[in-house]
Amino acid sequence: MEFLRPRLATLRLPVARKAPRPLYQCLHTSSSRCAQPLGTPAVPGPPPKAPTSEAFERVARKRRQAELLQQARELRASPARPKTALQKRFWRDVSVHESDDGLQIFLDKRPVRTPSKQILTIPRSKSQLATAIALEWDLLVSAQQALKSEYIPMTSLAARAIDIAKADAEGNTKIRDDIINMLMRYLATDTLLCWAPEKNIHDAAGDSASLRNLQMKLATPIIAYLTSKVWPGVEIVPILEPDSILPIPQPEMTRNVVRGWLTGIPAFELAGLERAVLGSKSLCIGVRLIHEWGEAFATAREPSEGARFGIEEAAEASSAEVTWQTQHWGEVEDTHDVEKEDLRRQLGGVILLVGGDSS
């Protein structure tokens, strides 16, 4: 047995070890049982479903749509793409020709026509109007733009005047009567005659620059001109009482005189007045403007000693309240500034329409 002792010394008998520390254990309970990860046989029930690829498919679908849109943009911008008849300009030159009836605008050899298919003919005395119409047609890049009135505003104005003149010559008074009825409705709520109350919580004590004072300062000379030069003897009253919001109608004699005057003015002046009133929201301002520049009133107009009543004066009178409010509370970008310039554009178009060589 002695010879076996060295070998027994080298042998190591198995020693009892502690159980390994569990990887997962519930912390909200005192149970010694270990939580098992999902998918192991110890968890009852079927295994969970694999993650769906719906999100990946949606992203791929949007990516394909973006690629198709980009291809469409590149195709539209490609100069080699064939264009339709409305998407290209079929004329090269724009010119003004004098005919027996007046001035006509030609696209190469084709005359410009009104929506009623008659040739757009401008009186010979309105050469500036004919030039403006030719210029806006020369700036068009496609025939499709000619279908939108915002691209050819002077053409639309002239066509409106020609339609009124044609209807008057045929004895059809419907167009003129409709315009007059609309203008008389504007007289009942004229912007120039809507004055702010005498007392305003935003006005400082003794402030001479109140909104009402500004409105009265702008309206007084216009009213004086209308009641002395255009409608002598009529009375034009403010349509708002200092403590009321209900409009006060103009005297019956005033309404009758104004309606009779509108019935007799020429077609170009009536079309210009319609545009001026729609832009300024004031019949008084519109009448003052066309009486200052209208070719039909050149003989009845007295030479002006100072500056003439023009675009800036009409725009200032029609937007007095907006100007006062923006000075006190600020201007909204892309709203007030755009409306201000658009109003001046419309009033300038009216002067071009009603003006002539004699004015």
Cα 258 to Cα 178, 240, 343: the distances in Å are 15, 20, 24
How many CB atoms within 10 Å of residue 335? Answer: 9
Between 317 and 303, whose confidence is greater? 317
pLDDT band at 136 (very low <50, low <70, confident <90, very high): very high
Same domain, 239 and 321: yes
Q: Is the pLDDT of residue 14 over 60?
A: no
> Which has the minimum average pLDDT: 11-15, 44-48, 186-190?
11-15
- Specify the higher pLDDT residue, 17 or 256: 256
pLDDT reading at 132 higher than 60: yes
Q: Quick check: helix, strand or coil at residue 111?
A: strand
Please say if the pLDDT value at position 257 is more than 70: yes
Report if residue 239 sits inside a domain.
Answer: yes
User: Is residue 293, in this structure, part of any structural domain at all?
Assistant: yes
Query: What mean pLDDT do residues 291-302 have?
Result: 87
Cα separation, 277 vs 109, whole angstroms: 36
- Given this model, what pLDDT does residue 60 score? 83
Burial bucket for residue 50 (CB in 10 Å: 0-12, 13-18, 19+): exposed
98 phi/psi in degrees, rounded to 5: -100, 125
- Each residue's pLDDT tens digit, 19-46: 555 544 545 455 555 555 555 555 566 7
Q: Count of alpha carbons within 13 Å of 203, Cβ hemisphere only?
A: 16
When pLDDT is cut at 50, 70 and 90, the band that residue 79 belongs to is low
Quote the mean pLDDT of the chain. 83
Give the structural domain span for 180. 173-354
Boundary residue ending a domain (138, 163, 188): 163
Q: Per the domain annotation, does 57 fall within a domain? A: no
21 occurs within a structural domain: no
Does some domain include residue 111?
Answer: yes
Query: Do 192 and 115 lie in a common domain?
Result: no
Same domain, 233 and 101: no
Answer whether residue 146 shows pLDDT above 60. Answer: yes
Q: What is the mean pLDDT of residues 263-286?
A: 96
| pLDDT recorded at residue 47 | 73
Per-residue DSSP letters for 255-310?
HHHHHHHHHHS-HHHHHHHHHHHHHHS-HHHHHHHHHHH-GGGTTTPPPPSS----
CATH number at residue 109: 3.30.2180.10
Residue 331 pLDDT level (bands cut at 50, 70, 90) = confident
- pLDDT of 245: 73
User: What are the backbone angles phi and psi of residue 345, rounded to the nearest 5°?
Assistant: -65, -45
Give the CATH number of the domain where residue 201 resides: 1.10.3580.10
In a domain, 266, yes or no: yes
Q: Is residue 190 part of a domain?
A: yes
User: Rounded to the nearest 10 degrees, what angle do helices 127-138 and 336-354 cross at?
Assistant: 130
Give the number of domains in the chain. 2
**pLDDT at residue 128 greater than cutoff 60:** yes
Of the residues 115, 133, 163, which one is the last residue of a structural domain?
163
pLDDT band at residue 186 under the 50/70/90 scheme? very high
Which residues, 6 or more positions from 35, have their beta carbon under 8 angstroms from its beta carbon? Answer: 24, 25, 26
pLDDT of 159-179, one tens digit each? Answer: 999 999 999 999 999 999 999
Query: What is the C-alpha separation between 219 and 215, in angstroms, rounded?
Result: 6
pLDDT at 206: 47
Which pLDDT score is estimated for 273?
Answer: 97
